[in-house]
Structure 1
């Protein structure tokens, strides 16, 4: 890997910053972001602005309507958007479903869904996990039985992020019970307004509502909404989950935590001195800064591997997932500690309608306790740390 500065990348970074300064509405910048994505009105408005610039799909190839950016350019874009306080995009559509549509969908399916994704008019959720089928996803039991030109779907999904705000869901179902469990799975696209779908909220430990249970009771789904052939769902899912190894560490989140920690270090006081004057805190902060720098270097390495289509990128992406998510937990814990007595308060981010009285440290402390609670799940979602370590062991042994 070449560690020399990339002047082309620096120029691109300045282009992104200039765009954000000119086109990011002031009333959107810095608004609270949900644990996964922004509130729907903010997300849709920002998506339309990006799409008008030709940046509606930063993670897609140009031939598919995307920007055609390199992995490193995509990382720069994500970092600068986080730094500027921009709303998120719909990550389920952008990073998960989008590449699947571009690779496996029919021309008719692309024509129906891609323009609406690019313009923010169709938001998506993911129907994978089930009670008892999380890490062992292949054991899923939601059934889809063929009935003429439709499938009849019955079953339950859980942890369905933003199902209550989404227009469609991409869904794994079992279409054959007589074959090996991985071979009997198919990939369906389902309109959330279809009769028979019930969404029940799950309020998570951060006191937010972004998770749901989703029930399917004799839901009729056109066969035309199946992606790929019947029984190809497992292979499509592996393709979906193997994308974007370099983003596994969520580096923009780690850098946002560093900014917050440095701000608290300078503004919080212990007696007459700032918090940073405390040797123990200064040492912990310095170690975290070094770890974030190490993760950033590893992200660049994995990005270079992805550019070269190296088979080692998969194992390295799993290493990033473990290191990055465990680091998120430790940094969010230190943020709460840095708030001192106020760290015990769950700032009213999930429910604040603007009428609540301002609380001490609101500007820098807002949502920190909620964030720390949410990050308890970061080593579980997207593949648990135990599963990731198994992938690392198998892949590196093969290499």
Structure 2
């Protein structure tokens, strides 16, 4: 494919920068992080984007989106991260939204898309279960079809885990087993449920980065109307494969990779032992150059996978798996380089600016130290990125997909 930049891309970048400068409120600017911003910030920023006509930057014009090219999308994401814009609801923008556009009924779109565009509804994902993570098709959450005077509905019982932002989401999209007698992929159905439905309980999980963005979700006789089923009963696995193809490019997280690289350059210019900058040390300069080359390569890879998906190429799936492996392993190495570059300061998990004093133990009493401004949050990011090669399908699973689809192994 042609990787030469669009001649109009510089003008588009300036347009995005001007918009962010003029329309991004100062109180919404945040330190870039992997995690979704607080609900109020997400909702406010979504409304501002929608009023400007940019409410769905990743979607085609036919679905109410901007219709931007992949290069324009990457510019928008990169400039948003650099400006400190709140992170959007990626669950809807990049995962559920494309599913609704492709599989939902007109009534379902009317019920959910306006609330999304207006920033009135945030979503979480109910896929993984205890014992059913990488082998997602082995999920055990059951949904039984019932008929009564209130209409057709499913009664859902089971447990989901690693529910990102489940404690601050309004709705959940989840996979359930509706036919225990069918082969495991064939008996799965895709449902949408209001998180306020009686029987849904969310309990927090604090992760290794000491943040609360993960949860376990319990479903006890939860009533879900049949009208909230996306696609046909038993079509859930086909819909999930469609969704996971979109997730591969999302987990690559190219804008954050570029942000990490900028942070590493900043550390490289900071005088350390003996007043010598890290950039002047040959071994560090070599590591920085290699990481920069790899970030550039991942950027080209993202565009290639997107082009394959737009062309409905069968190569999109295995190449998406390759992208997921390369990008997430790079996330781990570049955040490790941050902590190593901090030297002695890398041994301290300075609280992330996005975490309040109540959420981050010690954040209210941490004494100012040299390099603390640069160090804040770097260890948290490094800890969190230990999970990058697990969520969205482990690296082992991705390599199995590559071996099967590309080499027939």
Task: Give the TM-score category using the shorter length.
Answer: over 0.9
> Does the C-alpha gap of structure 1 residues 331 and 138 become closer, same or farther in structure 2, counting only changes over 3 Å?
same
**Alignment correspondent of 2:24:** 24
Q: How does 1:171-320 map to 2 (within 5 A)?
A: 171-243=174-246, 245-320=248-323
Partners of 1:4 and 1:290 lie apart in 2 by: 17
Q: CA RMSD in A?
A: 1.8
Partners of 1:58 and 1:244 lie apart in 2 by: 16
C-alpha displacement of 1:373: 0.2
Partners of 2:324 and 2:248 lie apart in 1 by: 8
C-alpha displacement of 1:246: 4.3
**Alignment correspondent of 1:3:** 3
CA contact (8 A) 2:33 2:256 kept: no
Partners of 1:304 and 1:54 lie apart in 2 by: 24
**Alignment correspondent of 1:339:** 342
| SS of the residue 1:60 aligns to | coil
Q: Give the count of matched residue pairs.
A: 398
> Does the C-alpha gap of structure 1 residues 121 and 336 become closer, same or farther in structure 2, counting only changes over 3 Å?
same
1:7-65 C-alpha deviation (Å, 9 max, x unpaired): 12232222212211111112222x13553311111111111110111111111121222
> Which contiguous aligned blocks of 4+ residues in structure 1 show a shift greater than 6 angstroms?
none
Partners of 1:131 and 1:5 lie apart in 2 by: 45
- Structure 2, unmatched stretches of 5+, are none
350, 353, 357: which one aligns with 1:352: 357
> Does the C-alpha gap of structure 1 residues 55 and 2 become closer, same or farther in structure 2, counting only changes over 3 Å?
same
Q: Does 1:124 align with 2:111?
A: no
372-381 vs 43-52, greater mean Cα deviation: 43-52
1:175-234 C-alpha deviation (Å, 9 max, x unpaired): 111111111111111010011111111100000011111001111111111111111111
**Alignment correspondent of 2:93:** 94
368-377 vs 2-11, greater mean Cα deviation: 2-11
**Alignment correspondent of 1:12:** 12
**Alignment correspondent of 1:391:** 401
Partners of 1:178 and 1:306 lie apart in 2 by: 33
TM-score relative to the length of structure 2 = 0.93
C-alpha displacement of 1:80: 1.3
C-alpha displacement of 1:333: 0.6
Partners of 1:111 and 1:375 lie apart in 2 by: 37
1:126-145 C-alpha deviation (Å, 9 max, x unpaired): 00000000011111000011
324, 328, 339: which one aligns with 1:325: 328
| SS of the residue 1:182 aligns to | coil
